[in-house]
Structure 1
């Protein structure tokens, strides 16, 4: 009897967890989709502008979720552009109309809607990108059989003198 009640309890827990996990991705996707529409590209940023300064300038027009200045990996300096994400799309619209061409730290900034980033090619073998890509196989081709690679000439002395 105890074994049957354990199965019933575990079955109910598994079903409850399955229901919660199935709901989580859709709620996360809705948040992600919502914030993508409120992301702005900011170009012409002065090298003196900090992320806090960028957040402060754009924060006057609504609630800023994220302010990011893109840095060069090798030098550690600003690349002169960044992104600001608002919680509400209406706030992003207001900032876009008011701050495009605005002077920030001595430079006129350009503000525009951020476009979605193109998908990166996968780094799997045969994708045509990365190391050895000129030898990558087309997806419609199959790998050659072992005997299709050619043969190694015999090193037998009796056949090499002929």
Structure 2
């Protein structure tokens, strides 16, 4: 072997040490291979007591459920599949702002023309910003169309 430089000796030592650690881990300290998890037997479902029929896809509180249902696979060794999507219903919180882009921050009047500050954009009546169109501007509220919905945004008055 030709003369190795110091850096090459260090690299060879690190690679050799890693190889020794790998071999020890695999053959000396390694556990026997375990069998893959088996799928649990399907559970029996009891029939519900007769009562008023509920519309499919709606919860008892009137909140629409998620659309598609996936068959839940439960494994005998660890329970529910960790790769299945977790579906949860969340109650609507009307006090929480959904998006900072859709908040009426102010109304500016210049003569007879009004401008509104929604999010970071200044718009006047009839203008569009994405799928938001300003329909009407009043003293303390703005009527706009977001997609297919007509929405009224009211200016929050912190002086009250």
Normalising by structure 1, report the TM-score: 0.25
Q: Which structure has the higher relative contact order (CA within 8 Å, separation 6+)?
A: 1
More helix by share: 1
- Say which structure is richer in strand: 2
TM-score, normalising length from structure 2? 0.26
Greater C-alpha radius of gyration = 2
